[in-house]
Amino acid sequence: MALFSPLALMRGDSARARVLRGTMMTVVNFGGSKGLRLASNLILTRILFPEAFGMMALITVFVGALEMFSDMGVNASIIQSKRGHDPEYLNTAWTVQILRGAVLYVAALLLAAPAARFYDEPMLAQLLPVATLSMLISGFTSTKEATANKKILLGRITAIGLGTQALGILVNIGMALWLQSVWGLIFGGIAANLAKVTLTHLALPGARNRLAWNWEVFWDIFHFGKYIFISSIAGFFINQGDRAILGKFVSLAELGIYNIGWLMASVPMAFNRLFGRRILFPLYAEKPPAESDENRRNIARVRLAMTGGMLMISFAFGLTGDWLIQTLYTPEYHLAGPILVLVALAGMPLVITAAYSSLLLGTGDSRSFTILLITTALVQIGLLWIGVQNYGLLGAIAAPALAVFIVYPLNVFLVRRHKGWDPVHDGLYVLLAAVIAAVVLSVHPDAVARVMTGGA
């Protein structure tokens, strides 16, 4: 008689098996990606100076703004639509995606000089036209990636993502050694995107894309994506507003150091977003909680496990973050230690409530999704603008957490329509987050003061 094995649960084509396999692949992808990024940072910070990472943070903000300000939700529409396997639908979506990439690149060329003037960094005008080539290239990514995600078949997507990221890192290291400037951080992204686009066409199953146009499909994508477009603008301010505003008020060196601490501490938040996009979004689309008690119970179990795991990671980073930075990085980056500790704590409210956005989008309620994100963005940007001017880096760290609590009643109102509110989950983990914060701050009582004084 065969013994029970957890691997047996992952076999077959049931929703549970696909979720389990997808979860495992998401963990592998996320862990591998963050590990590669950490290794890259450790090497590059020994080659380049903090100002280079500050400049790269500004470039990332600019590229993120362009991408999110023009997001039509093409991939999301493929996952959500019942026509998501129709070749005519996919080819039209691919054509739309290519046109978007071309428009984005032209916009980047036009906005490079104004961005350089806004941040008073003339070099941005030279760097941005090269860095944003990645957006033009990404437009040619095959829709096979979206259809594989729709089925929660993530093995090859994970391999492609990690492999091309590793290639980009190797290119960055080689160019940084050669050029000894921020230019060395530009070309890796271009190489990685070229490789990824090629592999999505060659290494994923499905019909080959070709240029096509169907007005009915276009309008279907447009009507689904019109709220995604607006919500993506809001999403930019939620996810990158801190660095966009900090870049105006602090030095490039401070911004670079903040970005290093933030990137490590944001692991739970980033994992939640990835998990929501790869697992919860298609799961909510396939098994809406409003359809049955069984759906609600199954999704609640997934969320309980996921949030608990992420809060434990936040706890670990909060306790060890300062030591990690001092051990791994050279002294000029040590201010990133207390930043890491505080960002890990401030990210916990976002981890607790993140799944509700996936619920709204997965059930096709892009209007409510947009309302939620716009409200959150407006509240968070207001808090950031006031906080950064009065408290510097500390204001940037605290604003996102405060925004979550202020917007939570609206969150509840919107998701209750879909029978997706889980007060037991939220209440339990808010209490756990409070305990974690108290313990971490007792271990690092000087963290706030060090951030306020710039590590002095």
The 10s digit of each residue's pLDDT in 198-211 is 998 988 877 788 99
What confidence tens digit (pLDDT) does each residue in 245-268 have? 888 888 888 899 999 999 888 888
At 317 the pLDDT is 93
At 80 the pLDDT is 67
Q: At what angle do helices 293-328 and 423-443 cross, to 10 degrees?
A: 10
At 4 the pLDDT is 42
Q: Which comes out higher in pLDDT, residue 23 or 342?
A: 342
- Among 141-145, 270-274, 406-410, 425-429, which stretch is predicted with the lowest mean pLDDT? 270-274
Mean local confidence (pLDDT), 364-392: 89
Q: 10 pLDDT exceeds 60?
A: no
At 3 the pLDDT is 44
What confidence tens digit (pLDDT) does each residue in 171-205 have? 999 999 998 888 988 998 899 999 999 998 988 87
Please, which pLDDT band fits residue 413 given cuts at 50, 70 and 90? very high
- Residues whose CB falls within 8 Å of the CB of residue 213, separated by 6 or more in sequence, listed in order: 92, 95
What confidence tens digit (pLDDT) does each residue in 281-333 have? 777 877 888 888 888 888 888 888 889 988 999 999 999 999 999 999 989 89
Mean local confidence (pLDDT), 118-141: 90
Please, which pLDDT band fits residue 344 given cuts at 50, 70 and 90? very high
The reported pTM is 0.75
Q: 1 pLDDT exceeds 50?
A: no
At 299 the pLDDT is 85
At 424 the pLDDT is 93
pLDDT over 70 for what percent of the chain? 89
- Among 148-152, 382-386, 415-419, which stretch is predicted with the lowest mean pLDDT? 148-152
